[in-house]
Amino acid sequence: MTTNRYKGRTGLDRVVRATGYSIEGLRAAYRGESAFRQEFWLAVLMLPTAFWLGQSWVEVALLAGSVILVLIVELLNSGIEAAIDRVSFELHELSKRAKDLGSAAVFLSLVLCSSIWLAALWHRFLA
C-alpha cells in the first residue's frame, strides 16, 4: 500500500501548512475568478454593514454568515470547474452537469443572501 507523503503532518506543523494552502487558495480565486473578486469586494462592504444593520447577535450572524456562505460556495464552484478543466476541455454532458450544478449552488447562495438582507432591511426601515 502506498502512502501519501503529504498526509504525515501533525500538530502545529499541519495547522501552519494548511493555513498556507488556504491562503494560496484564496489568492488563486481572487486572481483567477472575476465572480469571486466581485463577491469579495461586496463582502468587504457588507460585513461591516451587517454589524450596523443587525439589531441582535442573531441578525448579525445571519447577515454576515450569508455573505460568507456566498464566498464559500463560489470557492467550491471554482474548485469543481478547475477539476473538470484539468481532466479535459472537451465538451461532455457530465462536465456540463457538474459545472451547471456548481453554478446553481452559487445562484441559490446568492438568493439566500439577498433574501436575508432584504428581510433585515425591511425589518429595520419599513416594519
74 is catalytic: yes
Report how many helices (DSSP H) and strands (DSSP E) the chain contains, helices first: 4, 0
Separation of alpha carbons 36 and 74, rounded Å: 6
Q: How far apart are CA 96 and CA 100, in angstroms?
A: 6
φ, ψ (nearest 5 deg) of residue 114: -60, -40
d(CA 6, CA 87): 22
The active-site residue, picked from 33, 39, 59, 74, is 74
Active site residues: 74
